[in-house]
Amino acid sequence: MNKNDIAQFRKQFKVNNDLLKINEIFHVYIMKESSEIYHQESLPFDLLEDEQKELFLDNFKKVLTGQLDQKLFELKFQRDVENNSQLILHQGMLTNDTEEWKNHMLQLVEKMLKDKQYEMDVVVTFIRGEYMKPMKRNEEAEESERDTVYSHPFILCSMNKTQDPKKELLFDYVEKAFKYNIVVDPIINLKAPISGFLFPSITDHAADVNHVLYSSGKANEPDYHFIEEVLNAEEIVTAEEDKLVFEEVVKKVAGDQINTSTLSNVYEEIHRVVEENEEEDTPKLDYKDVENVLKMSGVKDVNTEKVETAFKTVIDDENYELKANNVVPKYSSKSIKIKTKVADISIGPQDLRYVRQVELNGKRCLMIEVEENAVIEGFEMIPEALFRKADEDEEEGETDHK
């Protein structure tokens, strides 16, 4: 799934939407002390009040929210795994029997509990339903875009932690008295899912049962136990890890120090590759592509052997491919952070070429080229000329002359 597929699916999670039918919802409450199921409950989703539906729909939208390779990961199922989750999910999606569906989902819950101790009580919620995606409208055709739709059955899972209720002071209007509110029931935090997944992966108009969309609780912090032992999926590389590999490879080839103009060229070259492939799958960079990028960016003494060796040294795999989106900063925001002891500065990658580190009178300075006067706290700064004191220069000249 690309970001557009995910966004289209996520926006369907609203009450009374005819393009999304949720058949059943199934809750499983897990105790932290024993890692055992304390309670389970299943009911048709339509039986919930609209307010309840909104709570859960908002929760599911959060499961599907985040950047790819940072918080959302499209995973490929492992092959030849005993009691594999791909088969469990596929069977659960196809069955029309509620008890059979619940049993399949409980098999997944058992995997979640195996060799895992949670720090708090956890609620696992499953829904199964159908996503109707309209065909792209043909401008010459008379029928509405909703006359023909693609039907996508799916299962979506959300894991949510519980928290202790807040201790509050209440005022009773009837008795005209202040009362201490005592609540012992734990609160299920539906605002911040700690994990989840969508099966199958849906790309454009096709369902892909060989892939599952996994959601982590925090960016760049996937739960590898969940990925490998619960979903039985293959290993992943986060965007942060991809970026670190790229940075280390560049350092091996170009050295630890690089000027801002060259770095700006590197980012622009990769950004160009991303934009040219925007409608296709995420473009990837192997060692040959990285070699071309560095050469085009003005890095000196770059050759194939040097870059290939760098890949072997950093990642121990000369055939490793970096996702271009992961290694280039976002061009739509001030994504580059320059940190100094005096100040922290944020700029966009396209403006990096206007920043220089220079030596001035024996001191290291950060120089930023600007087209207009800078404004600080509402005051416009006065341009200042940089010079050495003339009298000092004259005195030095007279001393040399003597």
Residue 158 domain-assigned (yes or no): yes
Are residues 122 and 217 located together in one domain of the fold? yes
Residue at a domain's end among 235, 257, 290: 235
Are residues 117 and 224 located together in one domain of the fold? yes
Closest by alpha carbon to 157, among 107, 199, 97, 100?
Answer: 199
**Would you mind telling me the total number of residues written for the chain in this entry?**
402
Residue 156 domain-assigned (yes or no): yes
Work out the percent of the chain whose per-residue pLDDT is above 70.
91
pLDDT band for position 318 (50/70/90)? confident
Which amino acid is it at 1? M
What's the structural domain count of the chain? 3
Query: What φ, ψ does residue 199 adopt, rounded to 5°?
Result: -130, 135
How far is C-alpha 297 from the geometric centre of its chain's CA atoms?
28
Are residues 191 and 298 located together in one domain of the fold? no
Domain that holds residue 343: 336-380
pLDDT digits (tens, 9 = 90+) for 152-175: 999 999 999 988 777 778 888 888
**Dmax of the chain from CA atoms?**
105
| pLDDT of 281 above 70 | no
Are residues 202 and 246 located together in one domain of the fold? no
Closest by alpha carbon to 151, among 207, 212, 211?
Answer: 207
Are residues 172 and 277 located together in one domain of the fold? no
Residue 401 domain-assigned (yes or no): no
Q: Please tell me the predicted confidence (pLDDT) of residue 388.
A: 53
Work out the percent of the chain whose per-residue pLDDT is above 90.
44
> In the predicted model, what is the mean pLDDT of the chain?
86
Are residues 65 and 88 located together in one domain of the fold? yes
Tokens of 245: 């590999």
Q: Please tell me the predicted confidence (pLDDT) of residue 390.
A: 46
Are residues 291 and 174 located together in one domain of the fold? no
Task: Kindly state the helix (H) or strand (E) to which residue 305 belongs, with its residue range.
Answer: helix 304-315
Residue at a domain's end among 235, 260, 278: 235
Residue 139 domain-assigned (yes or no): no
Q: Which residue has the higher pLDDT, 396 or 61?
A: 61
Are residues 205 and 284 located together in one domain of the fold? no
Cα(352)–Cα(230) distance, integer angstroms: 43
Residue 360 domain-assigned (yes or no): yes
Residue 400 domain-assigned (yes or no): no
Are residues 375 and 251 located together in one domain of the fold? no
Residue 397 domain-assigned (yes or no): no
Q: Which residues, 6 or more positions from 207, have their beta carbon under 8 angstroms from its beta carbon?
A: 152, 153, 154, 200, 201
Are residues 215 and 100 located together in one domain of the fold? yes
| pLDDT of 138 above 60 | no
| pLDDT of 38 above 80 | yes
Are residues 251 and 204 located together in one domain of the fold? no
Whether this model's pTM surpasses 0.75: yes
Residue 395 domain-assigned (yes or no): no
pLDDT digits (tens, 9 = 90+) for 88-107: 999 999 999 999 999 999 99
Residue at a domain's end among 235, 269, 295: 235
CA dist 16 → 20, 22, 149 (Å) = 8, 10, 18
Are residues 78 and 111 located together in one domain of the fold? yes
